Chain A
Amino acid sequence: MNASTAVRNGWQKVFGAGARSARPMPGDTSHGTILYLEDISVSFDGFKALDALTLYIDAGELRCIIGPNGAGKTTMMDVITGKTRPDAGSAWFGQTTDLLTLSEPQIAEAGIGRKFQKPTVFEQHTVLENLELAVAGNKSIWATLGSALNRTQHERIEEVLETIRLQDRRGMRAGMLSHGQKQWLEIGMLLAQEPQLLLVDEPVAGMTPQEVERTAELLLSLAGKHSVVVVEHDMDFVRSIASKVTVLHEGRVLAEGAIDEVQNDPRVVEVYLGE
């Protein structure tokens, strides 16, 4: 980045002016692939969280990522969303967007949404306000200070409320929702952002069987329109949704393929069950 770009970026960060021109390109999926991670390495104090990880996600795909603790699943999400910068490697969103040059809000704007492991909705805000905060649109301070949401945005919110089945909870403070409802609200917030790629971290942890089933339905209904990457431990859940599974181990891809293939892979068995 040369000096003048640095100044311009800093200026835009603060004033929001001209942010539209700086709005990152949405992922160009003309080659059928939405996410390219190539030779990504991240180390923390000598510990290699990701070790030359290479992974591709197709447009419209629903992919599950599994792996034992410390395999690098969360670090991978951090790299994609701009929270962690890798030491080496490249990360592209579609053909044209280099994720490593963008900030977290820019990546969100480009069309990558993330759901965290712990449900983090805005507890003091109502369900509706949570979705209003998330809905795609101009998010500069001057826009939010001066204007209300437009009609398309309202329609979008209604649509999402219906998808996550929280229409009758719209006025409720998000902090009062059950655990499962919070998870859905968070997925709804992702949808309201209209992302092309959704990253979902352990969506069913702590859910009742009915909630798990409902969540599987929800995620399946999203695939096709969006690309969805799910990190999950619950193998039954993975089996119920995934067409393709990637197993991470020690920061690299250990195996990739259909769930049955992967589960019978001796290397995977070894990692999960020990020798």
Chain B
Amino acid sequence: MQTSNPAIRLLAGERGTRVFVALLLTVGVAAPIMHLAFPEGSALHLSTYTMTLIGKYMTFALLAIAVDLVWGYCGILSLGHAAFFALGGYAMGMYLMRQIGTRGVYGDPVLPDFMVFLNWQELPWFWYGFDTFWFAALMVVIVPGLLAFTFGWLAFRSRVTGVYLSIITQALTYALMLAFFRNDMGFGGNNGLTDFKDILGASINAPGTRVTLFLASALALGLGYLACRYITLSRAGRVVQAIRDAESRTRFIGYRVESYKLWVFAFSAVLAGIAGALYVPQVGIINPSEFQPINSIEIVIWVAVGGRGTLYGAVAGAVLVNYAKTYFTAAIPELWLYALGTMFVIVTLFLPKGVVGLADRFGPRQPIARTVTA
């Protein structure tokens, strides 16, 4: 099915994307209906817990796409993407904290509880503006984007690549974790930000709000996917893949490799930040443990399990691994890390293209020749 219409190629050019779009639409429509229209106890009722869980998976899927874009397509193995996710989450959390107002334990109209507890007299300057949603939304994008841009500027310009880059991304997220654990940083220390009440004037636990957050996650995932797919299909996308396969060669044919890497990395960080911002109101808490180095590694495992360099593979991996995690941590929590490790080893040894590679092998054949943008 080859076509020259760009919109169709974007949506339906390959089987994996068609399946993804179809599934996302189905879930996006069915889940809210099953949650709202059917009474509790009905076989078709979807509980708040399950719907929130799916919403959470969707934010993870968006995060996985972000990592797939930099790792699967550009060859930058970032082991620090959880940091961008968490920063987006914190920006949203700060907005939600300021919506609590006098309903906090200490009833201070301006200061969040933890600041009153620390005997702070006034709001630190970096909390200004977070009482308005648009400002917080802007920060969700700007803070992770700017950090990634600065970090990438320094790292890529000095031609730090491969495992060295991975290690410094780990250091980045670790340093942020230590910083956010400190009470005097002003982000709630190890308790983080929680006890949220309202978002945009609506109670955060109301069914309507839950459904809206769910739909927002589905929308963000869909748009994020399409944006990444647009990039990977463009000529820039082929340059990015060329950088992955032969970086210095790409430089010699006249591309500013650093600049490409930098923009892809920063864009990916922005996606991660948005994912974090949607995650926080659904789970109701953000704390420094989100910055843990292991979290970033886990994201990479999602992408590897799903199949990197395909986008839809990243989505599949994020959902599968997190479903397994939900199951294991409830049923046999002590075995979860072993299960995760085993999964990673099996995929690395036997399924280099991940789960979607397996599906492709047994599915109907795709035409091998790829379309050429004319």
On whether A189 and B253 interact (CB within 8 A), knowing A120-B246, A141-B236, A154-B374, the answer reads yes
What is the 8 Å Cβ interface bit string for chain B, positions 218-233, against chain A (1 contact, 0 not)? 0000000000000100
Contact B369 A149 (CB under 8 A): no
Q: Is the interface of B mostly helix, strand, loop or mixed?
A: helix
Contact A14 B235 (CB under 8 A): no
With an 8 A cutoff between CB atoms, is A243 at the interface? no
Contacts of B275 in A (CB 8 A): none
Binds A, one of B49-57, B134-142, B255-263: B255-263
Partner of B235, one of A105, A116, A120, A149: A149
Contact A108 B370 (CB under 8 A): no
Contacts of A147 in B (CB 8 A): 235
Binds B, one of A89-97, A126-134, A257-265: A126-134
Contact B370 A14 (CB under 8 A): no
Contacts of A114 in B (CB 8 A): 252
Contacts of A126 in B (CB 8 A): 369-370, 372
With an 8 A cutoff between CB atoms, is A109 at the interface? yes
Which residues in window 32-61 of B have CB below 8 A to A? none
With an 8 A cutoff between CB atoms, is B238 at the interface? yes
Q: How far is the CA of A199 from the CA of B251 in the complex (A)?
A: 15
Q: How far is the CA of A10 from the CA of B253 in the complex (A)?
A: 20
Residue of A nearest to B373 (CB): A148
Contacts of A26 in B (CB 8 A): none
With an 8 A cutoff between CB atoms, is A171 at the interface? yes
Minimal beta-carbon separation of A116 from chain B (angstroms): 7
With an 8 A cutoff between CB atoms, is A124 at the interface? yes
Partner of A129, one of B238, B252, B257: B238
Contact B246 A14 (CB under 8 A): no
For chain B, give the interface size range.
20 to 34
What is the 8 Å Cβ interface bit string for chain A, positions 110-124, against chain B (1 contact, 0 not)? 000110100010111
With an 8 A cutoff between CB atoms, is A272 at the interface? no
Contacts of A83 in B (CB 8 A): 248
Residue of B nearest to A190 (CB): B253
Contact B238 A105 (CB under 8 A): no
What is the 8 Å Cβ interface bit string for chain B, positions 243-277, against chain A (1 contact, 0 not)? 00110111111111111101100000000000000
Partner of A140, one of B231, B246, B253, B259: B259
Contacts of A139 in B (CB 8 A): 239, 254-256
Contact A144 B372 (CB under 8 A): no
Q: How far is the CA of A149 from the CA of B373 in the complex (A)?
A: 8
Contact A132 B235 (CB under 8 A): yes
With an 8 A cutoff between CB atoms, is B242 at the interface? yes
For chain A, give the interface size range.
35 or more
Minimal beta-carbon separation of A112 from chain B (angstroms): 9
Q: How far is the CA of A222 from the CA of B259 in the complex (A)?
A: 33
Contact B258 A13 (CB under 8 A): yes
With an 8 A cutoff between CB atoms, is A60 at the interface? no
Partner of B238, one of A120, A132, A136: A132
Contacts of A109 in B (CB 8 A): 254
Q: How far is the CA of A193 from the CA of B253 in the complex (A)?
A: 7
Minimal beta-carbon separation of A185 from chain B (angstroms): 12
With an 8 A cutoff between CB atoms, is A256 at the interface? no
With an 8 A cutoff between CB atoms, is B241 at the interface? yes
On whether A133 and B369 interact (CB within 8 A), knowing A105-B256, A193-B253, the answer reads no
Minimal beta-carbon separation of A89 from chain B (angstroms): 22
Which residues in window 284-333 of B have CB below 8 A to A? none
Minimal beta-carbon separation of A220 from chain B (angstroms): 24
Contact A14 B239 (CB under 8 A): no
Instruction: Identify the interface centre among A114, A125, A139: most chain B CB within 10 Å of its CB.
Output: A139
Minimal beta-carbon separation of B162 from chain A (angstroms): 18
Contact B245 A123 (CB under 8 A): yes
With an 8 A cutoff between CB atoms, is A145 at the interface? yes
Q: How far is the CA of A203 from the CA of B33 in the complex (A)?
A: 65
Contact B241 A124 (CB under 8 A): yes
Q: How far is the CA of A124 from the CA of B238 in the complex (A)?
A: 10
Partner of B263, one of A123, A129, A133, A141: A141
B residues neighboring A (CB under 8 Å): 153, 157, 231, 234-236, 238-239, 241-242, 245-246, 248-260, 262-263, 369-370, 372-374
Other A-B pairs beyond A10-B157, A125-B242, 17, CB < 8 Å: A14-B262, A81-B252, A83-B248, A104-B248, A105-B251, A105-B252, A122-B246, A124-B241, A128-B372, A133-B238, A141-B239, A144-B235, A145-B234, A147-B235, A148-B373, A149-B235, A171-B369
Q: List 23 A-B contacts (CB under 8 A).
A: A13-B258, A14-B258, A104-B248, A104-B251, A104-B252, A105-B254, A108-B252, A109-B254, A113-B252, A123-B245, A125-B238, A129-B372, A133-B250, A133-B253, A136-B254, A140-B256, A141-B239, A141-B260, A145-B231, A145-B234, A145-B235, A154-B374, A171-B370
